[in-house]
């Protein structure tokens, strides 16, 4: 096991003093440590490609390589700037990639990590990025880290250090920002699921939101056939929802999204906002954190999602939290009542003249919930594999 303080100390000794990345569960201790201790020399990026960009910019300005950290799920997001910016065939920019290896072959993991786990090393090999798996022994790992940083500098290219499950000794995030609301995310999800029409479709995002939606359905005795759980593909749930909404304009489609996921591919909101699909509702549960992987902050606490959504063309509905005089501590019953009201308003709006005849623009809806970080300790995971979820979902959509 490696103490993160020693690992970061070792990086600093060899000239790596700037860190950018997207949090990962396997790198939780490392992410927490740099969040707590590196101040302005640490940026939590919107996505992994952004982290590579930040590392490149730091090098251009200082002549010193930086470190970009990510879960291997984010390798795809990083590939473009790795190939077309940092590669020796282009600008030849040194940097260290620190990559959490979810789905390592032989290690049990969730289905969304299986494929990515199999190709993590070979993908880096294909990209020509020198890659090493950090050994468990601390001094050997630090030695290898030094060697790889020197290689990155000497050859002026990215190098990758891959981190297995359990490598870093536990370090708990100290500087957790205060919650932006006291409402539990699971209560807000329950309020939503209690109020939607029976045949409404749900597309939920990566992480705890999908897990809580799944368990809430079980608790409410509702089936799972209307739900598409986007267990991987972070940031794309709203595009999946839009694809469905466009193909089935009579179907009500609700996307349950996170702030981290929305920010990861914020451009998707511009496309959804301009889609003219009034059967689509985008609901963002903002806890200003990457809660599912350790609670590291997002910029969600500092930006106004409702204003952004409005500018991008959504019809922003008054959140059930605001219907209660801006009381951000409302409970599940109030949320369900508020949502029922919104659903009935949306239905009335649909009684209008066909598109354009009344001069009113057709817009997708947007609802924001401000919620607390954290989840139940005993929160489970979907029991059915993704392909069963897909089959049931498609069968429901075909009726
Ligand atoms: C491309 C990619 N990068 C990183 C991850 C790791 N990851 C899983 S969930 C999550 C945080 C999601 O945050 P948010 O959308 O705000 O939802 P919350 O967990 O806070 O409810 C992250 C970073 C991932 N699955 N995919």
Confidence of residue 39 (pLDDT cuts 50, 70, 90): very high
Confidence of residue 329 (pLDDT cuts 50, 70, 90): low
For residue range 258-279, list pLDDT tens digits in order: 999 999 999 999 999 999 999 9
Q: What does the DSSP assignment read for 229-259?
A: E--SSTT-HHHHHHHHHHH-TTS-EEEEEEH
For residue range 117-139, list pLDDT tens digits in order: 999 999 999 999 999 999 999 99
Please identify, by atom number, the ligand 1 atom nearest to the C-alpha of residue 375.
Answer: 21
For residue range 152-179, list pLDDT tens digits in order: 999 999 999 999 999 999 999 998 899 9
Q: Can you give the pLDDT at residue 327?
A: 60
Taking residues 355-361, what's their average pLDDT?
A: 70
Ligand 1 near 208 CB (within 6 A): yes
Please identify, by atom number, the ligand 1 atom nearest to the C-alpha of residue 258.
Answer: 15
Q: Can you give the pLDDT at residue 354?
A: 60
pLDDT at 366 exceeding the cut of 80: yes
Best CA proximity match to 261, nearest among 69, 46, 31, 54: 46
pLDDT at 328 exceeding the cut of 60: no
DSSP alpha helices (H): ranges in the chain? 4-13, 28-37, 48-62, 75-81, 111-126, 138-155, 185-195, 208-219, 237-247, 259-264, 267-273, 305-312, 320-323, 332-350, 386-397
Residues 235/268, Cβ–Cβ less than 8 Å:
yes
Ligand 1 near 103 CB (within 6 A): no
Residue having the nearest C-alpha atom to atom 12 of ligand 1: 290
Ligand 1 near 225 CB (within 6 A): no
- 208-219 and 185-195 helices, crossing angle to 10°: 50
Residues 213/203, Cβ–Cβ less than 8 Å:
no
Q: What does the DSSP assignment read for 109-169?
A: --HHHHHHHHHHHHHHHHTT--EEEPPSSHHHHHHHHHHHHHHHHHHTSEEEEEE-TT-BP
Mean model confidence pLDDT for the chain: 95
Lowest mean pLDDT among 100-109, 141-150, 325-334, 366-375: 325-334
Provide the percentage of residues in the chain whose pLDDT is more than 70. 97
146, two tokens: 């030094």
Question: Candidates 115, 234, 239, 386: which one to mutate for ligand 1, based on the most atoms within 8 Å of Cβ?
Answer: 234
Q: Global pTM? A: 0.96
Please give the distance, rounded to the nearest whole angstrom, from the Cα atom of residue 153 to the centre of ligand 1.
31
Please give the distance, rounded to the nearest whole angstrom, from the Cα atom of residue 376 to the centre of ligand 1.
17
Please give the distance, rounded to the nearest whole angstrom, from the Cα atom of residue 208 to the centre of ligand 1.
9
Q: Can you give the pLDDT at residue 33?
A: 97
Question: Candidates 187, 212, 290, 299: which one to mutate for ligand 1, based on the most atoms within 8 Å of Cβ?
Answer: 290
Please give the distance, rounded to the nearest whole angstrom, from the Cα atom of residue 290 to the centre of ligand 1.
6
DSSP H or E run through 325: none
Q: Can you give the pLDDT at residue 199?
A: 92
């Amino acid at each position: 096991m490696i103490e993160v303080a020693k690992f970061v100390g070792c990086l600093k000794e060899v000239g790596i003093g700037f860190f950018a990345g997207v949090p990962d569960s396997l790198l939780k201790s490392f992410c927490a440590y740099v969040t707590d201790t590196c101040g302005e020399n640490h940026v939590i990026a919107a996505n992994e490609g952004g982290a590579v960009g930040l590392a490149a910019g730091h090098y251009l300005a200082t002549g010193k390589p930086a470190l970009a950290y990510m879960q291997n799920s984010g390798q795809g997001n990083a590939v473009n700037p790795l190939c077309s910016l940092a590669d020796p065939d282009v600008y030849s920019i040194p940097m260290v990639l620190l990559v959490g290896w979810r789905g390592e072959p032989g290690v049990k993991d969730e289905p969304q990590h299986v494929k990515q786990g199999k190709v993590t090393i070979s993908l880096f090999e294909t990209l020509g990025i020198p890659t090493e798996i950090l050994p468990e022994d601390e001094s050997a790992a630090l030695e290898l880290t030094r060697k790889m940083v020197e290689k990155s500098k000497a050859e002026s290219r990215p190098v990758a250090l891959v981190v297995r499950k359990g490598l870093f000794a536990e370090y708990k995030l100290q500087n957790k920002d205060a919650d932006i609301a006291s409402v539990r995310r699971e209560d807000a999800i329950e309020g939503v699921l209690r109020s939607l029409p029976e045949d409404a479709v749900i597309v939920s995002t990566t992480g705890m939101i999908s897990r809580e939606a799944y368990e809430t359905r079980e608790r409410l005795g509702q089936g799972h056939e209307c739900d598409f759980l986007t267990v991987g593909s972070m940031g794309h749930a709203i595009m999946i929802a839009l694809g469905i909404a466009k193909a089935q304009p009579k179907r009500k489609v609700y996307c349950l999204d996170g702030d981290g996921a929305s920010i990861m591919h914020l451009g998707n909101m511009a496309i959804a906002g301009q889609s003219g699909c009034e059967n689509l509702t985008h609901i963002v549960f903002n806890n200003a954190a990457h809660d599912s992987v350790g609670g590291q902050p997002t910029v969600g606490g500092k930006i106004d999602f409702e204003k952004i959504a409005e500018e991008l063309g959504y019809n922003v509905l008054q959140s059930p939290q605001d219907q209660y005089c801006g009381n951000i501590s409302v409970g599940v019953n109030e949320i369900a009542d508020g949502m029922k009201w919104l659903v009935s308003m949306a239905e009335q709006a649909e009684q209008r003249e066909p598109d354009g005849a009344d001069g009113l623009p057709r817009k997708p809806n947007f609802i924001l919930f401000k919620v607390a970080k954290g989840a139940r300790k005993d929160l489970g995971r979907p029991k059915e594999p993704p392909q069963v979820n897909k089959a049931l979902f498609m069968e429901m959509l075909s009726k």
